[in-house]
Amino acid sequence: IDPHEGIPYYHPEPTYNDFMVKINTAKVVSQIQVKKGTSEESSSEITEKISLLFIDGDHTYEMVKKDFSLYEKKIIDRGYIALHDAVLEGPFKVILEAIKSNQWEFLQIIGNLALIRKKLVEENNDMNILTILNLILLHINRQFHLNFVENDEISMKVEVKELLINLERKL
């Protein structure tokens, strides 16, 4: 589900044709149901159960929570939700809330991609060791990301300050 209109600051061109080429090249087009539009527009159109949902939209907490809430009931038992940029505030908080609900288990974190699985009703008990370990990894990845961003911002400020000083000297 994507409007495929592009993102002004990242990829301003429409993305639908590129996306279709990629899933055709990967030979997975028959396994993917492509919906052009917003997640909110498409949620009422999707009546069948979903085995895997990939959330990678607006990364604010409100929007990730909205996407999650619109689709979590549509996920089959033992189905999956993958959340991209899981170290960012929005996806991070939604993952923690899902795990705390005991209806989801945390299967894996690879880079910035987190994978959670919907538990069976009879499995809705305490967290298993895999979920706990993956939460620890997510926290470590998030802290690394936050430190990197903070250090990167500090170094950018220093570089900008040095640039301004050099410009003043030349003027």
3-state secondary structure 51-79: EEEEECCCCCHHHHHHHHHHHHHHEEEEE
- Rounded-to-integer distance, Cα 22 and Cα 63, Å: 26
CATH match of 38-170 with 3.40.1000: no
Instruction: Please give the pLDDT value at position 91.
Output: 94
Instruction: Please give the pLDDT value at position 170.
Output: 63
For residue 25, pLDDT beyond 70: yes
Phi, psi at 103, each rounded to 5°: -100, -10
Mean pLDDT over 118-144 rounds to: 81
**What angle (nearest 5°) sits at the alpha carbon of residue 82, between those of residues 25 and 153?**
100
Mean pLDDT over 60-66 rounds to: 94
- Please say whether the dihedral angle defined by the alpha carbons of residues 68, 74, 79 and 82, taken in this order, is positive or negative: negative
pTM for this model (two decimals): 0.73
Instruction: Please give the pLDDT value at position 129.
Output: 78
Residue ranges per structural domain of the chain: 38-170
Comparing 51 with 144, the larger pLDDT belongs to: 51
- Rounded-to-integer distance, Cα 59 and Cα 118, Å: 22
Instruction: Please give the pLDDT value at position 156.
Output: 53
Mean pLDDT of the chain: 84
CB 118 within 8 Å of CB 75: yes
- Rounded-to-integer distance, Cα 14 and Cα 33, Å: 19
Of 111, 44, 25, 120, the residue nearest 78 (C-alpha): 120
For residue 165, pLDDT beyond 60: yes
